[in-house]
């Protein structure tokens, strides 16, 4: 642990109890708590919301929860259940726009980056653990001819889809600023 500066005793105690660096406990991130995308955007592991589990702060300051798990698989629930879970944690479901911004952080422009050739479809979801495992609910409502529904984010491809099914069971990530 680094030397304790005046006023950082509480931070040092939190870091010790959590078994993390002071930088990680403060949200600044230690070297192993930082991930940089191929587009140069930095994500920092964040411990400020314990209910989120492993969470990451994106370049905009949004904190993304882990994918909630159950018995080793992504927990699946209806959109109203997902919304309720996030609210109970003092957070919210990400909107379709939030997911589009997240995708932009992980998609390099066409061309060559660090010796790798990319096209516009070179989306890299590995920055956030388990993002590529499932489809995740958004808070964005889709009004359609066949009834209202919600948009969802396809973690593996970075695309936005929609469903009018109220009984669909998808994964959940919550966000908070």
Phi and psi torsions of 132, nearest 5°: -85, 5
Are 137 and 79 spatial neighbours (Cβ–Cβ below 8 Å)?
yes
Average pLDDT taken over every residue of the chain: 76
Q: What confidence tens digit (pLDDT) does each residue in 26-39 have?
A: 544 445 689 888 77
Q: What confidence tens digit (pLDDT) does each residue in 56-86 have?
A: 999 999 999 988 877 777 888 999 999 999 9
Please state the rounded mean pLDDT for residues 91-109.
87
Cβ atoms < 10 Å from Cβ of 42:
14
Q: Is 43 part of any domain?
A: no
| Confidence (pLDDT) at 146 | 64
**Is 88 in the same domain as 172?**
yes
Q: Is 15 part of any domain?
A: yes
Q: What confidence tens digit (pLDDT) does each residue in 123-171 have?
A: 666 778 888 878 899 999 887 756 678 899 988 788 888 887 767 899 9
- Please count the structural domains in the chain: 2
């Amino acid at each position: 642990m680094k030397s304790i500066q005046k006023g950082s005793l509480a931070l040092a105690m939190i870091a010790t109890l959590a078994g993390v660096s002071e930088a990680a406990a403060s949200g600044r991130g230690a070297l192993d708590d930082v991930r940089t995308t191929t587009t140069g955007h930095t994500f920092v592991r964040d411990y400020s919301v314990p209910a989120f589990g492993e969470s990451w702060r994106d370049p905009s300051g949004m904190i993304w929860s882990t994918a909630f798990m159950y018995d080793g698989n992504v927990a699946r629930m209806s959109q109203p259940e997902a919304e309720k879970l996030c609210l109970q944690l003092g957070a919210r479901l990400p909107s379709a726009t939030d997911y589009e911004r997240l995708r932009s952080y992980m998609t390099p422009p066409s061309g060559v980056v660090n010796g790798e050739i990319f096209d516009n479809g070179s989306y890299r979801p590995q920055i956030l653990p388990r993002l590529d495992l499932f489809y995740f609910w958004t808070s964005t409502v889709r009004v359609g001819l066949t009834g209202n529904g919600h948009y969802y984010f396809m973690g593996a491809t970075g695309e936005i889809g929609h469903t009018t099914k109220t009984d669909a069971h998808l994964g959940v990530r919550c966000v908070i600023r």
